[in-house]
Amino acid sequence: MGRMKFLCDAERCIECNGCVTACKNEHEVPWGVNRRRVVTMNDGVPGERSISVACMHCSDAPCMAVCPTNCFYKTEEGVVLHDKDQCIGCGYCFYACPFGAPQFPNGPAAFGARGKMDKCTFCAGGPEETGSQAEYEKYGSNRLAQGKLPLCAEMCSTKALLAGDANVVADIFRERVLRRGGGTDAWGWQTAYGGGEQKREQKREREGQK
Amino acid sequence: MLTKKSSAATGSARRLRGSAARALGQTMDRRAFLKRSGLGVGAGAIATQLPYNLIGAAEAAAPGVSRGEGKADVRRTVCTHCSVGCATDAIVRNGVWVHQEPVFDSPINLGAHCAKGASLREHGHGEHRLKYPMKLVDGKYQKISWEQALNEVGDRLLKIREESGPDAVYWIGSSKHSNEQAYLLRKFVSFWGTNNCDHQARICHSTTVAGVANTWGYGAMTNSYNDMQFSKAALYIGSNAAEAHPVSMLHMLHAKENGCKMIVVDPRFTRTAAKADQYVRIRSGTDIPFIWGMLYHIFKNGWEDQKYIDDRVFGLEKVKEEIMTWTPERVQEVTGIPEEQVFKVAQTLAMNRPSTVVWCMGQTQHTVGNANVRAMCILQLVLGNVGVSGGGTNIFRGHDNVQGATDVGPNPDSLPGYYGLAAGSWKHWCRVWGVDYEWVKSRYASEALMTKSGITVSRWIDGVTENKELIDQPSNLRAVVYWGHAPNSQTRGAEMVEAMKQLDTLVVIDPYPSATASMAAMVRKDGVYLLPACTQFETTGSATASNRSIQWREKVIEPLFESKPDHTIMYAFAKKFGWGDELVKNIKLEKDAQGWDEPNIEDILREINRGTWTIGYSGQSPERLKLHMQNMHTFDVKTLKAAGGPCDGEYFGLPWPCYGNPEMKHPGTPNLYDTSKHVMDGGGNFRANFGVEKDGVSLLAAEGSASKGADLQMGYPEFDHTLLKKLGWWDELTDAEKAEAEGKNWKTDLSGGIIRVAMKNHGCHPFGNARARALVWNFPDPVPLHREPIYSPRPDLVAKYPTHDDKAKFWRLPTLYKSLQEKVKDISRDYPLIMTSGRLVEYEGGGEETRSNPWLAELQQEMFAEVNPKDANDAGFRNGDYIWVESPTKAKLKVRAQVTQRVAPGTVFLPFHFSGWWQGQDMLKYYPEGAAPIVRGEAVNTATTYGYDPVTMMQETKTTLCRVSKA
Amino acid sequence: MSMPTMKLLRTAALGGVLALGLSACGETSQVPVYKDGKYSGKADTRPWESAEFKGDKAAWEAALKNRARGQNEYNRGD
Ligand code: SF4
Ligand code: SF4
Ligand code: SF4
């Protein structure tokens, strides 16, 4: 299994917030913290489009680079996780992230009073024993370890939001784009995964298939 | 504080918007609302007040059990928030609902959910629910025991019955009841002795049900959400499916990907419109001129399906005369839509057949509602789109079981199954119930009142306040029982509190009774009782989705707090009233954990099966339904048909009509009136329900237009014992069937023999084979006519297109039309803006339940009004300001202004899910303690005006007037 | 074998690898590297090492593939 990615199909997203709520439900995320949000452009006028955004689990994750306590890490599946015990709530990651993913339970309060950063885990828990109460309380469910994909994507009302192995996700999207003959924009992929990495990955896949 | 989509408006969100705009290569103007919710406000402040981990609360129910331990059970249930009917799997551990998993197997939703469906597990927390019975004492709600509640409420109602007769009590049932509960409530109300009962269908699709049924037989969605995948074009008019029926969009967007053209006609650029290929902005309340405008082009260009019309439609010529007077200029004058747009829509529908139409409350909630929907039917008949896969009239119902409650529930004008209220109908049901007809009759004040339609929920307030002399029943209403219905969904809220004040007794039975409770406590000191009912996750039963598929819900968790399932409460009251045994003659009782008697749900469904032949609720036994729920993966997503497996050949959820008894194995009907299929494979044709001829013209279908394989290939009337004998088919009945069927017709033959012989042996439709009626001669406007709304923004058009004449006794009440319209003809000078209302995706109906759910409440934190920038500038306010929206009733709503192009200049849109503010005041202090929803706001219906459909008493909510000013 | 024991064993076996990894990192990046189910001295086992899959990576991958099918309705017909 390769690299995990998200893809939100703006041609399908209807801004229903199903994904946002699924995330709240699955992880009991408290009021005011949003691991996932839906953003709308051209609201209320022709051309209105929405996309659902969370941590994209970037290839070269800017949050990792700026964290002064080195609390981030990347799993073999490409999921960016962090250790809440090490987090000092400085908020650097929040400013570095192009997607606004890091969230703080106390909101953007004074430095140091924000509390431990929380963000999307790709439903993969965190550095505590898999499936333990401690993992759940700090990081939420670990669906990946149950052989399931992120609930936000699995429950998306129109299957606009896709999550999983990069190639599988890309295939699903490609079929749709072919059928509708347009609407090709995989929003945020360039920023999150970069052109280079995608090519590298494709190459790896090709080689893997040989 | 925060407004919408709260914490998105942090610095990062702004950056996010920036990068999103770059990515999409467009300038971006995210709903400015978010900007306003501002840095530094909100999220944190609220977060600290709530426990980080709400699971702790749920676990309190099973102390000492940690999350990971104990066996996990999977219970399959169905979302209770809309009629799409999305299945979900609840994971329950030690009695606690710990997870919610998608059901990818469901052919209806394939695992998908909107925000409401994705939040279902919160029902297991239920912290804002009513936890025990309460009573209003000296203006405050106090806890009482169930025993005291049942006794006091029972005694008060019995006293009123004694003094003023059974019709002095009004029972408002629920579209959120299961089929079994809704059905039991209709029976319950009958034994109480009145037809004064109703439910949400009155104010959501009553005009559809009446208008469509009178056109071709059944008043329901003809096809299904799934079948729309076969459509080549789809016209949404008065439907915002992306918010109201989100998962239906999965099917539509799929169809669109495969070439379907999607058209949205609406006064508002909705989120559905954002997905459309064509968007047409229409003036609210002018649907008929627009539809006639399309048909004008269709006829002009010869796009009509002449053979279909000749064979299967009655009375179109008359309608065509009216249509051809709607020249493009005239259409534009009334609707505001230019000819080329009307033409393009007509052309798209005509050139891309099969094409379908979708409508919702944008069409139904008008003083011309019944005519609107008939015009839509006519459009589809002319195009030959009815009874065709990919075509049809896809009427999206509202609540999760509003279709079922309409079919078998508490309707004021009918017994279950649209049998009506005639003596014969009563005798039929008394046989099914196993009670004596004379006994039931004796429960009523008179035989006349037994066969007379009751007051509608849209008008109960007039039943209380109207002059006694003018009411068509012996007494005014003195008590109202709100049994699963919001008060803020009915119009004229300002007058409602007056009615509440005048009542002797008000009873609310609901998991979330708080909107009614707070309104009543605002104007009363006593005489109000609140009884905690369960949600559908704490009991079991069936629900009918919009496409007529019936799904079975397993019980997920035990009733929370002191709540009881509705059917248990019904039986408790029946016992108190002295006819408990009669109510459950054929129904087993079981003891629940607290020793209450609970009527067995499956037995109730079997009783429904035994009596509801008219619409084929007879074949869906509990066993068959459960089998479908466990074998969802075997059903095809587009056709809903199972290929192989234990349900081979059946359609998912046995969509009604599923004729005959369960043993006949009718597969259900995926698309109504489809002659390309055999009747035993879900085929059919239009219903013979209006006689065989009218004014010398045959109403029966033409030769050769019967359903596939029928022995009778011509039109034929409905089946009864004489027709069977005439055809020489009588001897195909067994002796037992003969004994039962003698003197009966297909609807009253309890053996099901007539149906079996007609369908199984001869491929004929038991309800006959007739033409659809373009001309509904028994309605006020046999040909649908445009009539201006009572509160019209166009006084110049009122003279040309006036409304109906006043009615003296209409559903037991005097009803105003022309006299009122005349009186307010020029009121648009003072109230120049159209006020209209609609849905938000996060909330349902009156909204109390969903606004009590923190996961949803966080997403929509404030009531607002959408106002066009021009109107905002004229009135001198800006986006995010508090404004007053004032209607001609003088009621004023204090809401946030959302200044947006979504609405045209001259239109103000308000969502209808809010309550808990009253003309600027937060009503928190009037709520029972701990049972106030998280989010409260002004109810739009506090300010809505008078106006009702002349057939069904549907309320006008979509077109009235208002003015706006800065608060 | 119970999960905690397995975890202990793995931790012991991988100790050496981790030490190597960290020293190498010191030169190039400030970010500690996640290696083989451990992060910064804490266990974060890989998803297929969960109670459900007991280290059977192939089974885990198959499960995920199957879930991914659920995101594509074209799998249920055109
Ligand atoms: S992947 Fe999981 S944690 Fe991330 S947004 Fe989706 S549901 Fe939330
Ligand atoms: S659930 Fe899907 S359609 Fe709805 S907002 Fe999220 S991504 Fe968009
Ligand atoms: S509200 Fe309707 S569309 Fe949303 S999940 Fe529930 S049933 Fe499905």
ipTM: 0.92
CB B931, CB B510: distance < 8 Å? no
Quick one: which of B351, B349, B418, B343 has its CA closest to B378? B349
- Among the listed ranges B700-709, B717-726, B902-911, C12-21, which one has the minimum average pLDDT value? C12-21
In B327-446, the DSSP E strands lie at 355-359, 393-395
- Are A33 and B7 inside 8 Å of each other by CB? yes
Residue type, B294: M
Ligand 2 atom closest to Cα of residue A155: 1
Give just the sign of the alpha carbon dihedral A17, A23, A28, A32: negative
Quick one: which of B154, B151, B157, B155 has its CA closest to B169? B157
More confident residue, B23 or B320: B320
| Residue C52 covered by a domain | yes
Using DSSP bridges, classify how beta strands B541-544 and B197-198 pair: parallel, antiparallel or unpaired. unpaired
User: At a CB cut-off of 8 Å and minimum separation 6, what does B145 contact?
Assistant: B133
Task: Collect all residues of chain A within an 8 Å Cβ-Cβ radius of residue C32.
Answer: 70, 73
B658-692 pLDDT, tens digit per residue, is 999 999 999 999 999 999 999 999 999 999 999 99
Q: In whole angstroms, how far apart are CA B449 and each of B194, B462, B960?
A: 7, 18, 34
Tell me the best of A17, A38, A120 to mutate to test the pocket of ligand 2, counting ligand atoms within 8 Å of each CB and taking the most.
A38
| Neighbour subunits, B (≥3 Cβ pairs < 8 A) | A, C
Q: For chain A, how many structural domains are there in total?
A: 1
Ligand 3 atom closest to Cα of residue B245: 3
Angle (CA) B929-B934-B940 rounded to 5° is 105
SS3 labels along A129-175 = CCCCHHHHHHHCCECHHHCCCCHHHHHCCCCCEEEEEHHHHHHHHHH
Q: In whole angstroms, how far apart are CA B750 and each of B110, B478, B600, B763?
A: 38, 39, 22, 20
d(Cα B860, Cα B843) in Å, to the nearest integer? 9
| Residue C8 covered by a domain | no
- pLDDT of residue C31 exceeding 60, the answer is no
More confident residue, B26 or B149: B149
pLDDT of residue B73: 94
| Window B:160-199, CB contacts with A under 8 Å | none
Confidence at B920, pLDDT banded by 50, 70, 90: very high
- How far away, in angstroms, is B653 Cα from ligand 2 center? 27
pLDDT of residue C14: 37
Reduced to 3 states (helix: H, G, I; strand: E, B; else coil), residue B641 is: strand
d(Cα A63, Cα A93) in Å, to the nearest integer? 4
Tell me the average pLDDT of chain B.
92
B501-549 pLDDT, tens digit per residue, is 999 999 999 999 889 999 999 999 999 999 999 999 999 999 999 999 9
Residue whose CA is at the smallest distance from ligand 1 atom 3: A120
CB A43, CB A29: distance < 8 Å? no
pLDDT of residue C44: 73
Say how many CA atoms lie within 13 Å of B877 toward its Cβ: 25
- pLDDT of residue C30 exceeding 90, the answer is no
Reduced to 3 states (helix: H, G, I; strand: E, B; else coil), residue B714 is: coil
Strand partners, A40: A50
Complete domains list, chain B, with CATH: 134-200+402-607 (3.40.50.740), 222-396 (3.40.228.10), 826-966 (2.40.40.20)
Phi, then psi, of B314 in degrees rounded to 5: -115, 135
Domain that holds residue A192: 4-209
Give just the sign of the alpha carbon dihedral B674, B679, B685, B687: negative
Contact with chain A for residue B43, Cβ under 8 A:
yes
- pLDDT of residue B99 exceeding 50, the answer is yes
pLDDT tens-place values along chain A, 210 residues long: 578 999 999 999 999 999 999 999 999 999 989 999 999 999 999 999 999 999 999 999 999 999 998 899 999 899 999 999 989 888 899 999 999 899 988 766 555 567 899 999 999 999 988 889 999 999 999 999 999 999 999 999 999 999 999 999 999 999 999 998 877 777 788 888 876 555 555 555 555 443
Quick one: which of B195, B198, B196, B164 has its CA closest to B182? B198
Contact with chain C for residue B254, Cβ under 8 A:
yes
Phi, then psi, of B837 in degrees rounded to 5: -140, 165
CB B59, CB B524: distance < 8 Å? no
Q: Which ligand neighbours the alpha carbon of B117 most closely?
A: 3
B32-43 pLDDT, tens digit per residue, is 233 222 222 233
- Are C76 and B102 inside 8 Å of each other by CB? no
Angle (CA) B926-B930-B931 rounded to 5° is 70
- Percentage above 70 pLDDT, chain B: 93
pLDDT of residue B24: 40
B596-642 pLDDT, tens digit per residue, is 999 999 999 999 999 999 999 999 999 999 999 999 999 999 999 99
- Among the listed ranges B386-390, B542-546, B604-608, C16-20, which one has the minimum average pLDDT value? C16-20
Angle (CA) B536-B541-B547 rounded to 5° is 95
pLDDT of residue A110: 58
Strand partners, B136: B141
One DSSP character per residue, B907-922 reads: EEEEES---EEETTEE
Q: Check which CATH number belongs to the domain holding A45 and give it.
A: 3.30.70.20
Residue whose CA is at the smallest distance from ligand 3 atom 5: B117
Residue whose CA is at the smallest distance from ligand 1 atom 8: A23
User: At a CB cut-off of 8 Å and minimum separation 6, what does B155 contact?
Assistant: none
Quick one: which of B490, B483, B486 has its CA closest to B530? B483
Ligand 3 atom closest to Cα of residue B78: 7
Q: What is the Cα C28 distance to its own chain's centre?
A: 24
Q: For chain C, how many structural domains are there in total?
A: 1
Strand partners, B598: B590
- pLDDT of residue C17 exceeding 80, the answer is no
Contact with chain A for residue B65, Cβ under 8 A:
no
Count of Cβ atoms closer than 10 Å to residue B439 Cβ? 12
Place of tokens 């080689």: A207
Task: Collect all residues of chain B within an 8 Å Cβ-Cβ radius of residue C76.
Answer: 107, 110, 636-637
d(Cα A185, Cα B24) in Å, to the nearest integer? 7
User: At a CB cut-off of 8 Å and minimum separation 6, what does B109 contact?
Assistant: B84, B85, B86, B87, B103, B117, B247, B250
CB B699, CB B692: distance < 8 Å? yes
d(Cα A50, Cα B679) in Å, to the nearest integer? 44
B759-803 pLDDT, tens digit per residue, is 999 999 999 999 999 999 999 999 999 999 999 999 999 999 999
User: At a CB cut-off of 8 Å and minimum separation 6, what does B409 contact?
Assistant: B173, B175, B177, B179, B182, B183, B185, B186, B199, B201, B416
pLDDT of residue B309: 97
Confidence at C40, pLDDT banded by 50, 70, 90: low
- How far away, in angstroms, is B794 Cα from ligand 1 center? 51
Give just the sign of the alpha carbon dihedral B561, B858, B120, B241: positive
Domain that holds residue C50: 46-72
Residue C74 exposed, middle or buried by CB count within 10 Å (0-12, 13-18, 19+):
middle
B101-145 pLDDT, tens digit per residue, is 999 999 999 999 999 999 999 999 989 999 999 999 999 999 999
Quick one: which of B941, B851, B932, B813 has its CA closest to B198? B813
d(Cα B194, Cα B449) in Å, to the nearest integer? 7
More confident residue, B284 or A111: B284
Task: Collect all residues of chain C within an 8 Å Cβ-Cβ radius of residue B107.
Answer: 76
Contact with chain C for residue A137, Cβ under 8 A:
no
Reduced to 3 states (helix: H, G, I; strand: E, B; else coil), residue B533 is: strand
The answer to pTM > 0.90 is yes
Distance in angstroms between the alpha carbons of the first and the last residue of chain A:
15
pLDDT of residue B89: 97
Residue A123, by phi and psi: left (phi above 0), alpha (psi -120 to 50) or beta?
Answer: left
Q: What is the CA radius of gyration of chain B?
A: 27
Mean pLDDT value of segment B460-483: 97
d(Cα B746, Cα B720) in Å, to the nearest integer? 6
| Residue C66 covered by a domain | yes
One DSSP character per residue, B753-822 reads: HHHHIIIIIT---TT-BB-EESS-TTSSSSS------SS-S-HHHHHHS--PPPEEEETTEEE-SHHHHH
Ligand 2 atom closest to Cα of residue A20: 6
Contact with chain A for residue B31, Cβ under 8 A:
yes
d(Cα B592, Cα B596) in Å, to the nearest integer? 5
pLDDT of residue C46: 87
A151 lines ligand 1 (CB under 6 A): yes
- Percentage above 90 pLDDT, chain B: 92
d(Cα B891, Cα A51) in Å, to the nearest integer? 39
Cis peptide before B246 (omega within 30 of 0): no
